[in-house]
Structure 1
Amino acid sequence: MHKNANHISSRSGSAAGNSSRILIAAGGTGGHVYPAIAIADALDRECEDAQILFVGTKNHMEWEAVPRAGHDITSIWISGFHRRLTVKNLLFPVKLATSLVQSLRIISSFKPDVVISCGGYAAGPVGWVAARKGIPLVIQEQNSFPGVTNRLLGKHASLIFTAFRDAGGFFPQDKIILAGNPTRKSLTSVDTDQAYEAFGLTPDIPTLLILGGSGGARSINEAMAKHLPTLHDEMQLQIIWQCGERYYDRLREDIHPENYDHLLLTDFLHDMPEAYAVADLVISRAGALSCSELALTGKPSILVPSPNVAGDHQTKNAKSMVSEGAAELIADDQLEETLAGLVGRLITDRQQLKKMQKAALKLARPEASETIATGILELIQKKKHP
């Protein structure tokens, strides 16, 4: 088990027999992991004696992100099934069987009152075993087009929390609660002056924030590399650019960031609240979590939906933001051609940015985490006191 020492010591005397024991399965990307952490944080606030354990994989971001947030995590051996024939697919049946045995051991040992699936590879085996053992299963679905894992688990769930109305068509209607996506409270509790100081930036110069998701986005990186001289030198913007670990070394070789005084190139941003606080405009993929965070922080954005996601759900997410006036949309294959022009038009129009900020804030659901936590705790109480 991967543990946070402070978290464990603070809970050392609270494992009472009537405490709520909650198992959360999520992993793979920030879109699954950070909503799960937000739910766990809300459960901690709502129930002081809650015992929370995450299940994920050791080779994805949850293995570091969850302990950093103050929660415990254990692992199972599982990965996704590739649509094309690969050597990795030959191992999939072995991994699946192993992960089911591991999930059974974890559940038998931890004895959860409820299991929460936030999607990702790890959620499938854990959720399936929970259903077979008669343990209440709760699903939190972030996207308008649900992922495979949550779609398969839906028929076994006691409660299903969705963020988009469109997702309701994939689940039993009597189990659905439209709650929005849970987001981190820390995103809106930032001292802006300290945030500028942390990044070494000034509020006197417009700041552009580039987010390609936790894994980075090749098309956004390529477009940024092409237009960097225009954005940095000609438009004189401050730029925070999260490019993803897999692209970082190559980009450093290609663009020589040391030649740009107001550029911060990083593989991953751990201080996201501060990054949002200083940003005047954000370029981002249109994953559900990204859209929810942009709404919560009221940040005007240029959304670039990934063309490589199930059901084209990122385009649907982006269009919902655009229709409310909170964002502009650029298709992935048009990015290199149109990026600099759109950034230049928006970031110099303070009035338009204010309109987009107000529109984004209207879309926010800051109470989503509490709504979900309350529903989960009520479900536990019904189980304990039928």
Structure 2
Amino acid sequence: MHSAVTKNISSQVKPDSGAMGKIKVLIAAGGTGGHVYPAIAIADALRDSSTDTEILFVGTKNHMEWDTVSKAGYDITSIWISGFHRRFTLKNLLFPIKLATSIIQSLGIIKKFNPDVVISCGGYVAGPVGWVATKMGIPLVIQEQNSFPGVTNRMLGKNAELIFIAFDDAKDYFPEGKTELAGNPTRKSLSQVNHKEALQAFDFNNDKKTLLILGGSGGARSINNAMHKHIGTLHDDLGLQIIWQCGKRYYDKLRKDVTPQNFEHLRLKDFIHDMPAAYAAADLVISRAGALSCSELALTGKPSILVPSPNVAGDHQTKNAESMVVNGAAKLVTDDQLENSLANVVREIIDDEQQLKEMSKAAKNLARPNAAKEIANEVLKLTKNSKPN
């Protein structure tokens, strides 16, 4: 950061707190569901723990948080920032301008909202917000979802008051003594829909098994390619009902080939908004192995076939998947093997009732359903301790 900007922000004095007892929380998270949904879960837990809590999110207008946060019932404001591409692109030329602009915007948001604490759940939007908060003397709390922390949270970690991690390995990337193992916050609503209601929501029958396919909020090309190749076997030969979230960028092309006329028991979705019903309907899930996905599979007790993305820092999805496999909750298929083996792996699991029950039990044993509540309690404790008497 430029020294002139640093000096300007450091000279700002945090205004007096709002009404007595009122707690203001600013949450920065963006880019993917892996950052946004844990942030919403923490916000829900804060609201449940203290009725006198005001929460504001910071995100970007061109990513999923802009709609998702609003639908969850929270206010959100935006800054102009994007990631820095590792390879040279013309977009990188704009990065210094975006960074400076986002710092100024973050300063304006923080001065106007006057938070008692700022929570970073990751994504590049959290960088400027968290950095400005620490320069203004506002306590910063980090929630890191992965075993290998993202660059934003690693950068912010040295100035954070508290760092909540979901995997013990993550503590090696943060200052000693600041981390607390809490698990990944998950939405309470994920486990509040029963199987029968969920099947009705998708117009499915109770006499067929249901397969749920998730490629992350943006979809996954390799999973989509494998599904496209094996859809006939899965739908016709195995007689499965299928909920397939393919991602917006792949949806238009796929729906031309995979039509309701050809596959009566297929529900092709660009994005699934009703995830509680999707999980509740599923007997088996094929998914990437992002930290949030693994936490949600554990919470809902769903047997899974995990396909780690090969394009993530530190290969953390493979580590996530291996943890699930070792504990008996999942099977692992590598990205390059999926297209050839998908139907066979599904066939080995889906009709084996005993195996499904054992995997479901193992998944539930890995769940940390109170993660959001534990984090919320510590955040509230921190704000009370930092408030002037």
2:15 aligns to what? none
| Aligned-partner Cα distance in 1 for 2:212–2:115 | 40
1:372 aligns to what? 375
1:251 aligns to what? 254
TM-superposed deviation, 1:256: 2.8
| Aligned-partner Cα distance in 2 for 1:148–1:121 | 8
| Aligned-partner Cα distance in 2 for 1:292–1:45 | 21
1:301 aligns to what? 304
Check conservation: 1:203, 1:278, Cα contact below 8 A.
no
1:109 aligns to what? 112
| Aligned-partner Cα distance in 2 for 1:212–1:316 | 18
| Aligned-partner Cα distance in 2 for 1:170–1:257 | 48
One of 176, 192, 205 as aligned partner of 1:173: 176
TM-superposed deviation, 1:385: 4.9
| Aligned-partner Cα distance in 2 for 1:224–1:360 | 24
| Aligned-partner Cα distance in 2 for 1:118–1:164 | 15
2:200 aligns to what? 197
1:283 aligns to what? 286
- Cα deviation, 1:174-225, whole Å, max 9, x if unaligned, reads 1111000000000011132221111000121000000000000000000000
2:70 aligns to what? 67
2:103 aligns to what? 100
TM-superposed deviation, 1:384: 1.1
2:152 aligns to what? 149
User: Within 5 A, what are the aligned runs for 1:23-42?
Assistant: 23-42=26-45
| Aligned-partner Cα distance in 2 for 1:333–1:345 | 19
1:76 matched to 2:79? The reply is yes
SS across alignment from 1:24: strand
Check conservation: 1:302, 1:327, Cα contact below 8 A.
yes
One-letter amino acid matched to 1:184: R
1:47 aligns to what? 50
> Residue 257 and residue 219 in structure 1: after superposition, are their counterparts in 2 closer, same or farther (change >3 A)?
farther
One of 221, 224, 227 as aligned partner of 2:224: 221
Check conservation: 1:155, 1:172, Cα contact below 8 A.
yes
1:208 matched to 2:208? The reply is no
One of 140, 143, 150 as aligned partner of 1:140: 143
One-letter amino acid matched to 1:310: A
One-letter amino acid matched to 2:62: N
Can you give the 5+ residue segments of structure 2 that lack an aligned partner in the other structure? 1-17
Check conservation: 1:295, 1:360, Cα contact below 8 A.
yes
TM-score, structure 2 normalization = 0.95
TM-superposed deviation, 1:305: 0.2
TM-superposed deviation, 1:17: 3.8
| Aligned-partner Cα distance in 1 for 2:198–2:342 | 26
| Aligned-partner Cα distance in 2 for 1:198–1:248 | 21
Check conservation: 1:30, 1:214, Cα contact below 8 A.
yes
TM-score, structure 1 normalization = 0.95
One of 36, 56, 59 as aligned partner of 1:56: 59
TM-superposed deviation, 1:279: 0.2
One-letter amino acid matched to 1:78: I
1:164 aligns to what? 167
1:334 matched to 2:337? The reply is yes
1:363 matched to 2:366? The reply is yes
| Aligned-partner Cα distance in 1 for 2:351–2:340 | 19
Higher alpha-carbon deviation: 29-38 or 198-207:
198-207
| Aligned-partner Cα distance in 2 for 1:289–1:276 | 14
RMSD of Structure 2 on Structure 1 (CA): 0.9
